[in-house]
């Protein structure tokens, strides 16, 4: 498990970079010509930069583990992004989904 921790942390970091790319692309989508905006170009560059990190992570973790960690981190970070920057709100079933996502990570760590 100790050997997995750096790779898991890099996976969460890659997720954070991807969420930053999501923010930039969301801003691009608000433009009249989204594909011609600097928001789109920046989002594209941020997303593509994660390829380097995936090359590091993939030999150290199973794809299933990467998928669960990345998915849960994405859900949490995108939720935070929506709440803070786009004034979105959460419904009770969305909160339940987040709790279940966190539970899935704890089960993965316990039984992996």
Quick: pLDDT tens for 54-89.
998 999 888 888 888 888 888 888 888 888 988 888
- Sequence-ordered list of residues with C-beta below 8 angstroms from that of 46, at least 6 positions apart, any chain: 17, 18, 20, 21, 24
Instruction: Tell me the backbone φ, ψ of residue 70, rounded to 5 degrees.
Output: -65, -45
> Taking Cα atoms as reference points, which of 100, 28, 9, 108 lies closest to residue 64?
108
First to last CA, the chain: 8
Among 1-10, 25-34, 48-57, name the one with the lowest average pLDDT. Answer: 1-10
CA angle 17, 91, 43 (to 5 degrees): 20
Are residues 50 and 17 in contact, defined by beta-carbon separation less than 8 angstroms?
yes
Give domain limits for the chain. Answer: 4-111
Quick: pLDDT tens for 16-35.
999 999 999 999 999 999 99
């Amino acid at each position: 498990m100790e050997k997995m921790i750096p790779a898991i942390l890099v996976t969460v970091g890659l997720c954070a970079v991807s969420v930053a790319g999501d923010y930039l692309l969301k801003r691009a989508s608000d433009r009249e010509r989204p594909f011609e905006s600097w928001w789109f170009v920046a989002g594209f560059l941020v997303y593509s930069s994660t390829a380097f990190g995936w090359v590091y992570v993939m030999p150290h973790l199973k794809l299933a583990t990467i998928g669960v960690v990345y998915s849960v981190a994405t859900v949490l970070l995108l939720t935070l992004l929506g709440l803070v920057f786009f004034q979105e709100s959460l419904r009770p079933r969305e909160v339940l989904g987040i709790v279940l996502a966190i539970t899935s990570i704890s089960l993965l760590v316990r039984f992996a």
